[in-house]
Structures are given as structure tokens and as C-alpha cells.
Structure 1
Amino acid sequence: MIKLIECPRDAMQGLPDFIDTAIKAAYINQLLQVGFDTIDFGSFVSPKAIPQMRDTADVLDLLDLFESKSKLLAIIANTRGAEDALVFEQIDYLGFPLSLSETFQQRNTNKSIQEALQTVEEIQNMAEIKGKTLVTYLSMGFGNPYGDSYSPELVAGFVEKLDGIGIKIISFADTVGSADASLIQELFEVNIQAFPHIEFGAHLHSKPAELELKVKAALKAGCTRFDAALKGYGGCPMANDDLVGNIATESLIKVLEKCSQPFEINKTEFNEAMKIANVVFA
């Protein structure tokens, strides 16, 4: 079964105008009715860095989780953020962005890769004590624009280190939309075979015309976990390309149906969520 991870947090976080807390909550509440495996709903990071997410705790208080099977994921960038997130029983997953690029790690979390790896281990221990699961995103997972070293072997080395500290879910993030289908397939095939006990996910950014090829490559390699956002909103500002955004959930669904891949959503509730997305991101 394909796991669909809907990412309103990623879609919203870069918007310059603050979205009212009640509107955020109403949108996420509708997403909770669709049947997504997980909702990446918010983040516990510095409000100076990501002002759009400064109300994550308030949004959480307004969510109706009683009739939803979806799990909640919150992004954190340090142990302080993890401490804040772990207060809430409603949160199932913490997500940490670990970069393969030294330059991007410094820009994104103000840490070196070595410091970030130490933070991952600390947060992993904290999460296990609280019965939560840490999802580690390998950002710049398919290359970077900074000239920092990159290779599939480098990726495998990171996965091995994460495996050593007990990480069970790793998502390869195509942060700037640079990956081609062949590299996507190679990374997933090699790592899924080498680490069968780890769940590997795809957090792909793409131009619309390249989306189907990228998703099919990940599927062919055995990936069963996909991040996406309705209408393809969001993406990394460093891509410097308005056409490179998150994989659009509706487009991902079409590819999965074309490839006869099993997944579960309520189409009626999904259509309602699409209507609200047009208002939220207008």
C-alpha cells in the first residue's frame, strides 16, 4: 500500500502573508478527513526563521483528530524544538532536515553536518522515550547547487550512520528539483535493498512536466512513501524557479492510478480539500 504524506506545512511556510490560525486549522481539519497516512501539519522552529509557523501549537489545539486515522508530523530543527513538540500527545512523528550539503545544513539549521548528526541522535533518544518516531529528511539528497561533494556513495554513508542510531524512516528530499529519473531509481533501489528494515520515502520537488517520470522511477525502485502538497504549492525558495515546487498531490494520485498502485483516500473529501486549497493559497 502506498503511503501518502500530505504537506500543508511545506506548502504554507514560505508564504509572505500570514495565514490566519483558524484558516490553517480548518484546512488541515479537512485534510484529516481525506485519509492520508500522515499530515505534515506544522513546525516547532524559530518564529524569526519561519514566521508562518509561529502558531503551530495553536493550530494543533483546533484540530479534530477523533474521527481521523491520519497521523501528525511536525518539523523540528534542534532539541529545543523537539522538546516543544514532544509535549503534545497528538503528534506521532518528528521530522528533522539533515542535509548532505554542508552549505545547506549551515543555512537551514545553523549547524555543521557533524553537529546536525549529533542532534539527530539526541532527538532520536528523546523521541523513543516518548514513544514517537523520528523521520529524517536527507535534504539535497540528489545533489546541490553549491559545489559541495555529492555521490550515491555519500548518500549510502549517511543512511548507514542513521541506521546505526536506530532511525527507521528516511526520506530522500530533492530540495532544488535537480534529480533525474535514473538517479532517483538508483538511490531507492540501492538503499531499499541494503537496508530493508528502513522505510524510505520520497520528498520530490519537480517541474510539472517532469513529475510523472520522477514518481514512476521511485515506484519502480520500490518506494512506497510519497510526500506531496495539494496544487503543488511550496517547495524550496533556493530553487529560484517558480515552476519547481512540491509534487502536486492530485498529479501524484493520477500517476499511482495509471500504474495501478494501491492507496486509500476518500475522493469526496479530497475534492473538498482541493476547494479549500484554492481559497487558502489564493
Structure 2
Amino acid sequence: MIKLIECPRDAMQGRAEFIDTAIKAAYIDQLMRVGFDTIDFGSFVSPKAIPQMRDTAEVLSLLDMFKSRSKLLAIVANTRGAEDALQFEEIDYLGFPLSVSETFQQRNTNKSIAEALKTVEEIQNKCEVNGRTLVTYLSMGFGNPYGDPYSPDLVAEFVGKLSDLDIKVISFADTIGSATSDLISSLYSINASAYPEIEFGLHLHTHPDQLKDKVVSAYEAGCRRFDGALKGFGGCPMAKDELIGNVATENLIQILEEVGEKLELDKEQLTEAMKLANVVFS
């Protein structure tokens, strides 16, 4: 079964102008009516680092959870953020960005990779105690611009360490749009066969004209978890000065339907969500 993860948090987080809390909540509410498996709706991180997300708890209090089957995911960057997120029963998933690049790990979370792995273990333990699931994003999962070491074997080492911690969901994140179709296929094929107990996802930042080949490559290699953001808004503000856009969810839906997937989405609600996206991100 295909799992579509809609990421308004990723679409919003890099915008300089603060989006009103009520508008954020109304937009996420609309997304929850579409039928996405999960909504990556906010983050519990330092407001100095990501000021756009300083109202995540308030946004959550405004959501109408009774009209949706979508689950909620919040990004955290440290144990304290995880503890804050775990106070809210409405949140099903915590997401942590673990980087294959030492430079980016420092830029993104102010930690070394070794320190970040310890944090992953701490958060995983807290998730297990509280009945939640930790999603670990392997950022710079397809290469990095900093000259740090990278190889598919290195990624596999990270997956092995996460497997040892009993992490059940890992999403390969192409933070800067460097993935190729062949590399995507290779990473998924190798890791999915080696770790059948892990659900592997794909979080792309890519140019639209390269999207179809990359998504089909991941799909054919067994990937069934895909992240997107309506209209392709957003990108990672910590990666580079120039943002690489997110996958436009509407394009992702079209590609998956073309390969024969029947997605259980309310298309009327999706149309309304796309209209609202134009307003939110105008």
C-alpha cells in the first residue's frame, strides 16, 4: 500500500514572512481531509533556528482531529524537542534528521553524527515507552556539496546502526537534489532486501523535469512511502542558500496513478487544498 506523506511543515519552514497561526491550522485541516496517510505538520525545534515553526503547539490545538484518518508527524532535533512533542497524544510520529554528512549534521542540529546517533537512541527509547514511532530521515542521503565522504556503502552502514536501535521507518532524503535514478534504485534495492523489517521512504528535493524517472525508479525498487508538498513549495533552509523545491504532491499522485496505483484520496478535497495552498504561499 502506498503511503503519501504531505509536508506542509517543509513547505512553510523556510519562508521569511511569518504565516499566521490560524492560517497554518486551516491549511493543515484542509490537508487532513484529503486522505494522506500522514501530515508532517510542524516541528518542536529552537524558534531561533526555525522561527516559522515557533507556534507548532498552538497550531496543533486548533486542528480538528475528528474529521481525518491522517496521522500527524512532528520533526524534532534533540531530546528536549522529543519530550515536548510526546506531550501531545495527537502526534503519532516523531521525525529526526540524521545526516550522512558531518558538515550538514552540524549545520542542521548543532551535533556531530556520533552525538546525533546517541540522540536517536534516546528519542527511540522515549518513543517506545510512549507508544509512538520514530521516523529517521537520512539527510544528504544521495550525496552532499561539502566534500564529506559519501557512498552507498556508507548509507548502508547508517541503516545498519539504525536497525540495531530497532528503528522501523527510515526515509532517504535527497536534501539538495543530487539523486540519480540509478542511485535511488540501488539504495532501495540493497537496503530493502537486507532489512525487510524496515519501512523505507523517499523524501526528494528535485527539479520537476527529473521527478518521474526518480519516483518510478524508487517504486520499481520497492519504495511505497513518498513525501511531497502541494505545488512543490519549500525546501531545506539549512542546506544551501538556494532552496531546491520539494516534490509537488499533485505530480507525485499523477506518477503513482500512471504506474497503476489506486490512491484512496478525496480529489475534491485535494482541489480545495491546492487552492488554499496558493493563498497560504502567495
TM-score by length of 1: 0.98
Superposed displacement of residue 263, structure 1: 2.1
Secondary structure of the structure 2 residue equivalent to 1:59: helix
Q: Are 1:276 and 2:269 counterparts?
A: no
- What is the one-letter code of the residue matched to 2:63? L
- What is the one-letter code of the residue matched to 2:69? K
Residue in 2 that maps onto 1:158: 158
Secondary structure of the structure 2 residue equivalent to 1:143: coil
- What is the number of equivalent residue pairs in this alignment? 281
Superposed displacement of residue 235, structure 1: 1.1
* TM-superposition CA deviations, 1:36-64 (whole Å, max 9, x none): 00000000000000000000000000000
Secondary structure of the structure 2 residue equivalent to 1:39: strand
1:31-46 superposed matches below 5 A: 31-46=31-46
Q: Are 1:75 and 2:75 counterparts?
A: yes
Q: Distance between the aligned counterparts of 1:181 and 1:240, measured in 2?
A: 25
Q: Structure 1 regions of 5+ residues with no counterpart? A: none
Superposed displacement of residue 239, structure 1: 4.3
Residue in 2 that maps onto 1:208: 208
Q: Distance between the aligned counterparts of 2:100 and 2:120, measured in 1?
A: 14
Contact kept? 1:228, 1:247, Cα under 8 Å = yes
- What is the one-letter code of the residue matched to 1:135? V
Residue in 2 that maps onto 1:63: 63
Residue in 1 that maps onto 2:186: 186
Residue in 1 that maps onto 2:128: 128
Structure 1 moving runs of 4+ over 6 Å:
none
Give the fraction of aligned pairs with identical amino acids, expressed as a percent.
71
Residue in 1 that maps onto 2:235: 235
Deviates most, 70-79 or 260-269: 260-269
Q: Are 1:50 and 2:69 counterparts?
A: no
Q: Distance between the aligned counterparts of 2:56 and 2:193, measured in 1?
A: 37
* TM-superposition CA deviations, 1:81-107 (whole Å, max 9, x none): 001000000000000000000000001
1:69-108 superposed matches below 5 A: 69-108=69-108
Secondary structure of the structure 2 residue equivalent to 1:255: helix
Contact kept? 1:175, 1:239, Cα under 8 Å = no
Superposed displacement of residue 236, structure 1: 2.2
Q: Are 1:256 and 2:256 counterparts?
A: yes
- What is the one-letter code of the residue matched to 2:201? G
Q: Distance between the aligned counterparts of 1:240 and 1:185, measured in 2?
A: 29
Q: Distance between the aligned counterparts of 1:235 and 1:70, measured in 2?
A: 23
Contact kept? 1:168, 1:198, Cα under 8 Å = yes
Superposed displacement of residue 241, structure 1: 4.2
- What is the one-letter code of the residue matched to 1:73? L
Q: Distance between the aligned counterparts of 1:253 and 1:133, measured in 2?
A: 25
Superposed displacement of residue 240, structure 1: 4.4
- What is the one-letter code of the residue matched to 1:90? E
Residue in 2 that maps onto 1:175: 175
Q: Structure 2 regions of 5+ residues with no counterpart? A: none
Secondary structure of the structure 1 residue equivalent to 2:66: coil
